[in-house]
Chain A
Amino acid sequence: MNDVNWMDALRQTLAAESIAIESISEVPAVNSGKAAIWRIIDTDWQKLAEQAQTHKLRWSAGWAEQDDDCFIVHALFENQGTYLWTQTLIPLAKPELPSQATVYPAANRSERHTQDMFGIKFSGHPDKRHWTRHKAWGKHDYPLRKDFAVAGQPEHITPPDMDYAFVKSHGAGTYEIPVGPVHAGIIEPGHFRFQAVGELILNLEERLAYTHKGIEKIAEGRTPESLARLAGRVSGDTTVSHAWAACMAMEQAAAVTIPPRAALLRGILAERERVANHLGDLGAICNDVGFSFAQMQFSRLREDWLRTQANIFGHRLLMDCVIPGGVKSDITDADCADIKQGIIQLRNELTDIITALDLNSSLEDRLYTAGLLSTDIAAAYGTLGYVGRASGQDFDVRRDAPYPPYHQVTVKVAFENQGDIASRFWIRYKEIMASMKLIAQFMALLEPGDIAAAWQVPTPGSSGLGIVDGWRGEIVSYVRFTAENSIARFYPRDPSQLNWPALEKLVLNNIVPDFPVCNKSLNGSYSGNDL
């Protein structure tokens, strides 16, 4: 691997550009890929991003936190499975920082989120509008600052956010379609504003943050167990992976090593979650083009899969199965036999169904070339998971920065590069097949042993970064402890944050009636994005 090379090369470039790295420290490596923390002077924040881009680093996550009289702003970059964690300090009195969004479009919404939550001004940011804030708190109030009470000072009825400046279209024949926040289907709330001509979509703008529940704020002061519960509800369909990422961060901070059996069980849970969600999506994608045969078959298979989970793990969606230090419950040999039986059954069923779908020309007609996301745009927005992998972004945390138990197995990453809905459909199918293999491998590796390590109270101020591959892609979770085992800061970055902007691009030149299937093929989490 030439992973160290790019870091050395970047360091040399920064030195040549006289961008000073104030300090360098190693991150305790949970992920086997190396990681480093570089602290940069605030005025060089944007220049750092420029150099990072010339070295082809991917922008992964950005967040901030308040220390006593300053803010610490973080940006996480990645290349070839090696993470570069950069930080800068800015004074509380003058919270201003050159924007990285000018270089990395992926950082756009993240910086707007930080601006709304902390009042940090990102100078030169291409979009001056607020993002996470609607009208629930004042324009000059910042919920994640320490002087902001968790209860806030809400009005009796929060008014709607009427004056958000959407892009306007002009000219004869163009018209606007507002959709949401209450949608026609049984889905989460968000607003979509279309500009269309005839049936053709000229422009789409997303307005999210309707499900903003103050997760980052209400995490403060929680115990590790309580934070794991909350993390499991950042996005209900990703409960295992979010809880895992948060626990991994906390375990890193507390220097707790989870037992091998716990790691394997987490792996089984996470892969089961991936299969369950992909099964649901495969059916829903077909349903959105009116092919109900697939919807009925896949929702049947999903129900079988969930019932097995309820029997073995005690919860259909696997909530609260991952706890700090390990997992909540063990599985027996009989459970393993049930899981194996379920996998065999699912594989047989899929063989029938997928063959029938593959031969269906009307389905092919609707899914191929629709909702095209080019490799370039996918790369620019740093799209993750099946959205990225269907558009040529060959990255998977499980393979490229493996963490236990994935370091014990070979993870075969599904890959496509046509970037259309069909690609995102087939990649899900391939991932189901790969996950079933992984589950079998993990079960074969199970040795008797503990399923949770004893918790150790972390030293005050210690922090950790959990990075796992959820079913939607890379999840980054940052945790800092204060004294007495309680959480000072929690920031979960759901892959949806980076995937949502791609939807605005991939619907262009599609027809308005194809929006639902385009949206479903991406299936971003509203709750995970809005926090």
Chain B
Amino acid sequence: MLRLFKKILTTGIVTERVKRRSHDKQGNDDELEQLGIEIKRHIDRKFSGSIAIRAVDAGSCNGCELEIHALNNPYYDIERFGIHFVASPRHADVLLVTGPVSRHMQTALLRTYQATPNPKWVVAVGDCAACGGEFGVSYASCGAVSNVIPVDMVIPGCPPTPVILMKGLLGLLEQ
């Protein structure tokens, strides 16, 4: 147990801190901090400090899921901005939908959408969700998410990186 605590203490906090302005860091970290501040401000104003996201994989290759997962790692720790992932669409403000919508998932996605209380927003994540991507429209795929449910916002990328995901979410909040 002592080793465990030692590791926690020596690791310290790796999360990029939220600061007003940062000139001493570079690249992702700086960008991330600025993003975080803006996102937090929007969430505070529009959603009373908290926004609940339900991620729905409607047929993706799992690439987008890996990067959405990364939002919860200690570097990005998206929850500190009031964004948290919930287990049911009934708890959600936002549906984060990935993948081309496979025809086998079409009804499931529609029902998930219906189960989400109003007001709600739909964010299509990744190139497949945005336009069908590598899979397009076929006997097995409906293509873009907007072919199945109304989409408020698109975050392209194959897959979008965590920073792009955060930027995208900020775009939604600004709408």
Contacts and interface: CB of A to CB of B under 8 A. Distances in A.
Contacts of B104: 134-136, 158, 161, 209-212
Given A237-B63, A352-B3, A306 B139 contact: no
A353 interface: yes
Interface residues of A, number: 66
Residue picked from A151, A186, A213, most chain B C-beta under 10 Å: A213
B61 A527 contact: yes
Residue picked from B3, B140, B158, most chain A C-beta under 10 Å: B140
B139 to A, nearest CB: 2
B102 interface: yes
B94 interface: no
A360 interface: yes
Nearest to A158: B103
Residue picked from B8, B57, B141, B159, most chain A C-beta under 10 Å: B57
Contacts of B65: 186-188, 236
B108 A303 contact: no
Contact of A182 (B28, B56, B70, B85): B56
A210 to B, nearest CB: 5
Contacts of A316: 67, 161
A237 B105 contact: no
B7 to A, nearest CB: 5
Given A189-B57, A296-B74, A152 B11 contact: no
A292 B58 CA distance: 28
A159 interface: yes
B103 A154 contact: yes
Contact of B3 (A143, A355, A526, A530): A355
A306 B63 contact: no
B173 to A, nearest CB: 20
Contacts of A153: 139
Interface stretch (A106-114, A226-234, A406-414): A226-234
A167 interface: no
Nearest to B53: A186
A157 interface: yes
B112 interface: yes
B61 A218 contact: no
Contact of B100 (A213, A300, A356): A213
Contacts of A352: 3, 6-7, 10
B62 A299 contact: no
Contacts of B34: none
A236 B102 contact: no
A319 B105 CA distance: 25
Nearest to B58: A189
* In the complex, the 3 A-B pairs of residues with the closest C-beta atoms, listed nearest first: A152-B139, A236-B63, A214-B140
Given A153-B139, A303-B74, 20 more contacts: A135-B103, A136-B102, A136-B140, A150-B138, A158-B103, A188-B60, A211-B104, A212-B103, A214-B139, A214-B140, A217-B138, A218-B136, A218-B138, A236-B60, A236-B64, A299-B70, A303-B73, A303-B75, A310-B161, A353-B7
11 contacts: A184-B87, A184-B88, A186-B57, A186-B68, A210-B104, A235-B61, A237-B66, A299-B72, A307-B28, A319-B158, A356-B3
